[in-house]
Amino acid sequence: MIDVVISSCFVRKFLLAIQSQVPIVCHTAAQVLAAYGAVDIPRNEWTGLLPALFGNITGQFHDATKVASLEALGYMCDSMDPEEVQPETVNQILNAIVIGMATSQSQEIRLAAVTALNNSLEFTAKNFANEGERNIIMQAICEATQASHVKIRERAFECFATIADLYYDKLAAYAVTLFNLSVAVIRSDDPAVGMQAIELWNTICDQEINILQDIDDGEADVSSYLRLTEQAAPLMAPLVLECMTKQEDGDAEDDSWNIATASAALLEAMARTIDDKIVDLVLPFITNNIMNHDWHLKEASIMAFGVILDGPSEAKISPLVVQALPVLIGSLKDTTPLVRDTTAWTIGKICELHKQCIAGEILPAMVEGLGNALVDGNGKVVAQACYAVHNLAEACEDESEATSNVLSHFMPMMITKLMQITSKNDYDNDNIKAAAYEAVNRMIANSALDMQDIVIRLLEEALVRLQATFQPSMDSNDRMNTQSCLCSVIGEIVKKLHISVLAKYCDKIVELLLQVLNSKGAVAHEDAFLVVGFLSEKLGPELRRYIHFLAPAVQAGLKSIEEYQVVTVAVGAVGDIARALGKDILPFCDAIIISLLELLKSSTLHK
């Protein structure tokens, strides 16, 4: 414990420091004072701090001190429990922040105040519950949305989004004002402000989606649903669609968050909130622009169709999906990379959510289009094509034990192209290779019996590739990621094949798994232990021939406390091994139990 006299000396020095004209000194002092205050104010142990900060804000001090004092209040509010602070103290803090937001203050002070208010909104819950005080807070934020400083306007809408998250039930009285303010800035303000206004409505949608789910589950009354999205949608949807045409020029490699992508996210949330009602609001835009020669309009219309696929009923959306598929398949050949990217993503969403619409006559054309997209020169297009193939394979889950299924018609070609992607080194993003491997895994898992020879050849190739990762010249990160992906492929194949087919490969599989587990790379270790579990299940008592080699690796996994994910899968592997061996696991039980007890006693292991 720090001596009270020394502590008092420290804080007095920092109260002086916050009045410095050097900005970094002020800001640092604010952080220190907030840390002290968050502890001392609930105890009523430092009664002079808040009056000093309030005096800085209302007194004749330079702007840097006022800004830092507001920052200190915001930091404290973010850390303190309002139940432990006297209501009068909370009122004083809120009053000081609102004073800082006044239009008579400088832009820097107003920005600090509106930021502090955002940090204090949960802390001042009781004040917000009071209609009179709530109106004052909302009025102050509304005034901040009209400030000349972009950051103040942006932060004001951030406050509205926080309020929507914390106090959705209080929004009805302010809905029209919030809508009008939002529409104005989305349409014509700086994109940063418009995107924050979009985030406000995203938050409202999220709240209403959760409330509707609670109503369905019998956990909320229908009166708690304010229908804010439904009321705003007729005017908001056209504006959102307009913003979706404001894509930044460039190709599909750009993942930047902008007004167009933010608007697409909002439209998706609106679809999940108001379901069928969104379709009629968006369909004219899609119909008019999906064949447009202007790529901005074409991409926006395809994106709009993709984001409304989740929400509307099957009866409402399915006929439109069937009608749109030929156009979408043709758009995979568009000259603009972003159009091809969005198209492949939309087809992937159709495969995920509306597989019943992929009729026999459209499937060959879809497969051909996705096959071409897998060799596209643009990495993002390739990644989205992998996502679509993954979902197309997932759609065959119910037929994975059949003699033949839809996958049988195109699996050999797709596997070849996907494995070619995984062996290429000219992609900037390793996630493309991972997406290809994930698609391969789904095809393996849901393949029919007539694809067994393909799966066997894939196992042989995966084992050869895994062996090659132990070359010293390979980059360590590349080695770990490649081993992880290959182990996942081998795991899916182990699960798929009958032991009578798998038996001849078991020695090699175990040999390579041990090499992986003896190498550095926690990510690869997770997948390797999963394969150990799958193999144990397939081998059953025959696992005896390998247990003496596997046991040390499993013990090492159980002791990898700093890598809790590895520990988790190692524990799972122990369970699989025990079930496979039965009584034959007894010679290894003492060591395993000791390791498990050590894990239970560990104070550092992630619980």
- Render pLDDT for 493-545 as a digit per residue (tens, 0 to 9): 999 999 999 999 999 999 999 999 998 877 899 999 999 999 999 999 999 99
* Of residues 465, 461, 459, 460, the one with CA closest to residue 481: 465
Alpha-carbon torsion (352, 356, 362, 363), positive or negative? positive
Q: 590 is written with which tokens?
A: 């003492």
CA distance 183 to 187: 6
What is the spatial distance between Cα 70 and Cα 111, in angstroms, rounded to a whole number?
10
**pLDDT band at 4; cut points 50, 70, 90:** low
DSSP, collapsed to helix, strand or coil, labels residue 147 as: coil
pTM: 0.88
Paired tokens of 415: 């596997």
pLDDT, residue 252, reads 53
Contact (Cβ atoms closer than 8 angstroms) between residue 386 and residue 421 = yes
Name which residue leads in pLDDT, 599 or 387.
387
DSSP 25: H
Distance separating alpha carbons of residues 385 and 378, to the nearest angstrom: 11
* 385's tokens: 């094509």
Cα 361 to Cα 350: distance, rounded to the nearest angstrom: 16
Question: Whole-angstrom Cα distance, residue 29 to residue 35?
Answer: 10
Residue 312: count of CB within 10 angstroms of its CB: 21
What is the pLDDT, as a whole number, of residue 44?
A: 80
pLDDT in tens, 568-607: 999 999 999 999 999 999 999 999 999 899 888 887 776 6
Helix 87-100 to helix 107-120 angle (10° resolution) is 150
From residue 41, give the alpha-carbon distance in Å to each of 36, 80, 81, 83, 85: 8, 9, 11, 12, 7
Burial code of 94-115, b = ≥16 C-beta within 10 A, e = fewer? bbbbbbbbeeebeebbbbbbbb
Q: Could you tell me what percent of the chain has a pLDDT over 70?
A: 96
Nearest Cα to 299, choosing from 266, 257, 265, 346?
Answer: 346
pLDDT at residue number 1: 46
C-alpha to C-alpha distance for 110 and 152, rounded to whole angstroms: 7
Q: Is the distance from CB of 70 to CB of 99 less than 8 angstroms?
A: no
In tens, the pLDDT along 206-246 reads 999 999 999 999 998 999 999 999 999 999 999 999 999 99
pLDDT score recorded for residue 254: 61
Q: How many helices (H) and strands (E) does the chain have?
A: 29, 0
Residue 592 · residue 558 · CB < 8 Å:
yes
Residue 417 has pLDDT above 50, yes or no: yes
DSSP 562: T
> Among residues 120, 122, 84, which one has the least CA distance to residue 101?
120
- The whole-angstrom separation of Cα 340 and Cα 349 is 14
Contact present, 308 and 279 (Cβ < 8 Å): yes
Q: What are phi and psi of 346, to 5 degrees?
A: -65, -40
Specify the pLDDT at position 500. Answer: 94
Q: Give the single-character DSSP code of 408.
A: G
DSSP labels, 409-469: GTHHHHHHHHHHHHT----S-HHHHHHHHHHHHHHHHT--GGGHHHHHHHHHHHHHHHHHT
Max CA distance (Å), the chain:
86
Structure token pair of residue 203 = 């938050």
